[in-house]
């Protein structure tokens, strides 16, 4: 199915509720208001923004064609599923997206993928984001375990694998800043002292988000950083690449930890 022509949707009506009505067929258990709220929480625009400027940029830079090309290459390389890809403006009022995430954000499901971009997002940053998010799609398709049953370990490895796929294809300089927040020894200590005692925490538990993003008293981006470290360390010792590890159970990545 590949990239959906959301530019035509936005030209017809940029109102987020109208857009989410069109998306409702892809979300069987949610109405347009619930979809809008959920997508906004991951970086989609809300309210009136400079949609004309955004559309002009996407058309001038042929961003949609660029993403289609990236999708074709990765789909072939990773034997990935054929899913709809939706591209929308990001929330320009979200300072974290603008300053830390280079004006882009993404959201992946087993059967669909969203990219939220600014009107100035560079193609190199779009590529790294797409690699990360499409790897999620492929990982979720390859695993036997349902995402609703994921523990904190499952999600840490999901994120670690996706960002190591970016490292593998684009080099260290293009990975997210959270990959370099802590040393290997710090990650090992976090794993032993914080993560392992709570390794069975699932998404229904409020601790899940705290552990992944490092809110409250936890170190910033805790789960993401430790997950990246564990996968990178495992890849170094095993010699396996991102494609070969798509269906590997999360617990396996703990085998080369220094614990």
Choose the final residue of a domain: 107, 142, 177: 142
- Pick from 15-19, 142-146, 254-258: least confident: 254-258
- pLDDT at residue 258 in the model: 58
Residue 60, pLDDT > 80, answer yes
Same domain for 195 and 122: no
pLDDT of residue 89: 94
Are 83 and 152 part of one and the same domain?
no
Answer whether 38's CB lies under 8 Å from 23's CB. Answer: no
Asked if residue 259 is part of any domain, the answer here is no
Residue range 66-118, pLDDT digits in tens: 999 999 999 999 999 999 999 999 987 777 776 667 778 999 999 999 999 99
Residues 201 and 97 in one domain: no
pLDDT of 257 > 70? The answer is: no
pLDDT above 60: residue 50: yes
Strands 113-117, 84-89: pairing kind: parallel
Q: Which of 120, 142, 164 is the C-terminal boundary of a domain?
A: 142
Domain total in the chain: 2
Residue 101 is predicted with a pLDDT of 73
Residues 137-157 pLDDT 10s: 999 999 988 888 899 999 999
Top-confidence residue, 129 or 1 = 129
Mean pLDDT to the nearest integer, 42-47: 89
**How many CB atoms lie under 10 A from the CB of residue 78?**
20
State the pLDDT at residue 110. Answer: 94
Question: Does residue 89 sit in the same domain as residue 194?
Answer: no
Beta carbons within 10 angstroms of residue 124's beta carbon: 12
pLDDT at position 99 is 66
Are residue 151 and residue 58 in the same domain, yes or no? Answer: no
Answer yes or no: do 12 and 69 share one domain: yes
* pLDDT single digits (tens) 182-237: 999 999 999 999 999 999 999 999 999 999 999 989 999 999 999 999 999 999 99
Bridge-based pairing of strands 113-117 and 104-108 is antiparallel
Domain that includes residue 216, residue range: 147-254
Phi/psi region, residue 154 (left: phi>0; alpha: psi -120 to 50; beta: rest), is: alpha
Examine the domain organization and report whether 120 and 175 are in the same domain.
no
**pLDDT digit string, tens, across residues 167-195:** 999 999 999 999 999 999 999 999 999 99
Do 21 and 130 belong together in one domain? yes
Q: Which of 89, 115, 142 represents a domain boundary (last residue)? A: 142
Asked if the structure places residue 30 within a domain, the reply is yes
Residue 259 has pLDDT above 60, yes or no: no
The pLDDT score that the predictor gives to residue 144 is 85
């Amino acid at each position: 199915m590949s990239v959906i022509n959301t530019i035509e949707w936005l030209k017809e009506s940029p109102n987020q509720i109208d857009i989410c009505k069109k998306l409702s067929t892809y979300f069987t258990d949610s109405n347009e208001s619930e979809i809008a709220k959920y997508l906004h929480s991951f970086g989609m625009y809300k309210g009136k923004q400079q949609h004309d400027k955004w559309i002009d940029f996407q058309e001038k830079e042929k961003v949609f064609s660029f993403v289609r090309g990236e999708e074709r290459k990765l789909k072939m390389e990773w034997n990935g599923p054929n899913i709809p890809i939706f591209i929308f403006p990001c929330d320009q009022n979200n300072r974290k997206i603008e300053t830390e995430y280079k004006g882009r954000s993404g959201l992946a499901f087993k059967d669909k993928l969203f990219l939220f971009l600014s009107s100035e997002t560079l193609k190199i940053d779009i590529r790294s984001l797409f690699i990360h998010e499409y790897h999620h799609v492929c990982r979720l398709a390859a695993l036997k375990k349902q995402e609703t049953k994921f523990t904190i370990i499952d999600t840490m490895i999901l994120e670690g694998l996706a960002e190591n796929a970016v490292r593998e294809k684009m080099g260290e300089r293009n990975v997210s800043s959270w990959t370099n927040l802590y040393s290997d020894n710090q990650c090992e200590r976090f794993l032993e002292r914080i993560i392992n005692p709570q390794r069975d925490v699932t998404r229904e538990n409020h601790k899940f988000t705290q552990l992944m993003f490092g809110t409250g008293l936890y170190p910033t981006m805790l789960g993401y950083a430790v997950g990246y470290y564990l996968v990178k360390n495992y890849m170094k010792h095993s010699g396996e690449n991102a494609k070969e590890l798509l269906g590997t159970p999360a617990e396996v990545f703990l085998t080369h930890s220094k614990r």
